[in-house]
Amino acid sequence: MSLFVPASSEKSAPVAAPLAERMRPHSLGEFLGQEHLLGPGKPLRVQIERDDASSMIFWGPPGVGKTTLAKIIAETTQATFIEFSAVLAGIKEIKQVMVDAEKAAAWGSRTILFVDEIHRFNKAQQDAFLPWVERGAIRLIGATTENPSFEIIAALLSRCRVYTLKALTDAQIVTLLERALADSERGLGAQHLTAAPGALELLASYASGDARNGLNALEVAAKLAADAPQPTITREIATEALQQRVLLYDKQGEEHYNLISALHKSVRNSDPDASMYWLGRMLQAGEDPLYVARRLVRMAVEDIGLAAPEALHITLAAKDTVDFLGSPEGDLALAEAAVFLALAPKSNALYTGYSEVLADIENTRQEPVPLHLRNAPTKLMKELDYGKGYQYAHDVEGRVADMECLPESLRGRRYYQPTQEGREKAMAQRLEEIGKIREGKRGEK
């Protein structure tokens, strides 16, 4: 059998196929969602209607229609559709397909090569697409859940249009579920099932914007309802079908960084409710609790610092609790730490001050330690004036000596600028007192 079978010859998915596959839309009219791309006059719709042969990348979360859209484009433009997964296929097989596609193009045939999870290919493998895309031998459509800016090589990106697909709303998923219940040919219509008020909404809310998850849950619920006295999907049956909510998360992907960013910024903005929510989202999705604990420690020193120095002790205690108890028992300690950090007075004085220290170390001459600050354990060192002029602070009035401790080129530099928040207010007052003591000693000279 030839690899090149026109997309238009594809039949409906077999009855044995999963409901999500059987209900896959076959045309733009059936497609739901992505109005920002497919509404009248919107960019992707215009490209499809004009039969624009440009290659493209679909970027979006799972279950939003990336594969379906690629198949609809092939159907609409009467192109051969060849589907690969970067997880299952190697570049060797794809290269052979591209060679065959170029031969077919000489006879007027057009080929759409769809590569799911294209970000799984490394740089060298992605490079292999370039000559074929550039010559127009194939029309490449890549799908990815990862940010193309980081995962797709620049040369390939420059030859493709990137379209961002959004997660479906709960209302859109409910519409898809209603269609599946009513469709006798591809869906569950032959079972004459009904849904109790709120049941489909419950399934949709737990799908987290993923149509495939919603339809899979509906299929399970339908089987449970078929065994019930009345063929009705109730909220109880929906809850049983769901078992556990599907949360969009990838410990190595962009959503990982999005969620930890949301947690950090909620803490910084003194919002305990949002802090607990984003913390819970990460933990429930399977994030390593010790990773979260490390980030909370970071927040304690970056955003709170000496305004509430106990924040560091609390976050370290939470880390030890998680290490000792594990999850889920230790998760509450992380929630306690997150709420404390959110409510604590905020100061980034240490963070900015230390950043300035590092900048000066990088950009100024590395001066030797001043002689009066050097230790002099040997006779030779003393003869070289090591330690000469050093004043032992405990022996002078006010426990502050009029002695410069920075290199000469940085004399008078102030890195730590305490705020008026929390305990830093007292530290600011102490700094002022130290300054007055030094000024007084200078005045006596």
3-state secondary structure the chain: CCCCCEHHHCCCCCCCCCHHHHCCCCCCCCCCCCHHHHCCCCHHHHHHHCCCCCEEEEECCCCCCHHHHHHHHHHHHCCEEEEEECCCCCHHHHHHHHHHHHHHHCCCCCEEEEEECHHHCCHHHHHCCHHHHHHCCCEEEEEECCCHHHHCCHHHHCCEEEEECCCCCHHHHHHHHHHHHHCCCCCCHHHCCEECCCHHHHHHHHCCCCHHHHHHHHHHHHHHHHCCCCCEECHHHHHHHHCCCCCCCCCCCHHHHHHHHHHHHHHHCCCHHHHHHHHHHHHHCCCCHHHHHHHHHHHHHHHHHHHCCHHHHHHHHHHHHHHHHCCCCCHHHHHHHHHHHHHCCCCCHHHHHHHHHHHHHHHCCCCCCCHHHCCCCCHHHHHCCCCCCCCCHHHCHHHCCCCCCCCHHHCCCCCCCCCCCCCHHHHHHHHHHHHHHHHHHHHHC
In terms of DSSP bridges, do strands 194-195 and 232-233 run parallel, antiparallel, or are they unpaired?
parallel
Where residue 15 falls among pLDDT bands split at 50, 70, 90?
Answer: low
CA distances from 32 to 36, 47, 313 (A): 12, 18, 51
The Cα–Cα gap between 59 and 71 comes to: 16
7-164 maps to which CATH number? 3.40.50.300
Largest CA distance in the chain: 101
Please give the pLDDT value at position 24. 92
Taking alpha carbons only, the member of 390, 359, 356 closest to residue 373 is 390
Q: Report, at the CATH architecture level, how domain 254-343 is classified.
A: Up-down Bundle (1.20)
The Cα–Cα gap between 147 and 119 comes to: 9
Residue 116, strand partner residues: 85, 143
Average pLDDT of the chain to the nearest whole number: 86
Domain topology for 170-242: Helicase, Ruva Protein; domain 3 (1.10.8)
Other C-beta atoms within 10 Å of 286: how many? 11
Taking alpha carbons only, the member of 218, 210, 258, 248 closest to residue 33 is 210
CA distances from 167 to 18, 141, 170, 408 (A): 21, 19, 9, 59
Amino acid sitting at position 25: P
The Cα–Cα gap between 432 and 80 comes to: 77
CA-CA-CA-CA torsion sign (266, 272, 277, 281): positive
Between residues 74 and 251, the one the model is more confident about:
74
Please give the pLDDT value at position 6. 41
pLDDT at 53 over 80: no
Please give the pLDDT value at position 9. 40
Where residue 14 falls among pLDDT bands split at 50, 70, 90?
Answer: low
Domain topology for 369-444: post-AAA+ oligomerization domain-like (1.10.3710)
Where residue 147 falls among pLDDT bands split at 50, 70, 90?
Answer: confident
What is the total residue count of the chain? 445
Report whether 224 contacts 199 (CB < 8 A).
Answer: no
Query: For 282-306, what is each residue's pLDDT tens digit?
Result: 888 778 899 899 999 999 999 999 9
The Cα–Cα gap between 58 and 165 comes to: 7
Query: For 63-118, what is each residue's pLDDT tens digit?
Result: 899 999 999 998 888 888 888 877 776 777 777 777 877 777 767 678 888 988 88
Taking alpha carbons only, the member of 113, 126, 117, 127 closest to residue 55 is 113
Please give the pLDDT value at position 149. 87
Find the range with the poorest average confidence among 211-215, 249-253, 441-445.
249-253
**Section 205-227 average pLDDT:** 88
Please give the pLDDT value at position 5. 41
Find the range with the poorest average confidence among 78-87, 322-331, 333-342.
78-87
Where residue 49 falls among pLDDT bands split at 50, 70, 90?
Answer: confident
Please give the pLDDT value at position 230. 77
Between residues 129 and 349, the one the model is more confident about:
349
Cis peptide before 328 (omega within 30 of 0): yes
Please give the pLDDT value at position 56. 92
Find the range with the poorest average confidence among 179-183, 225-229, 231-235, 406-410.
225-229
**Section 52-72 average pLDDT:** 90
**Torsion on CA atoms 256, 257, 260, 261, rounded to nearest 10:** -150
Q: Where are the domains of the chain?
A: 7-164, 170-242, 254-343, 369-444
Percent of the chain with pLDDT over 70: 92
CA distances from 154 to 126, 127, 319 (A): 10, 10, 40
Please give the pLDDT value at position 445. 62
Please give the span between the terminal C-alpha atoms of the chain, in angstroms, as a whole number. 100
* Contact partners, residue 33, CB within 8 Å, separation at least 6: 64, 65, 165, 166, 168, 169, 172, 211
Q: 184 exposed, middle or buried (CB, 10 Å; 0-12, 13-18, 19+)?
A: exposed
Please give the pLDDT value at position 253. 58
pLDDT at 186 over 70: yes
Give the HSE-up count for residue 252: Cα atoms under 13 Å, Cβ half-sphere.
Answer: 4
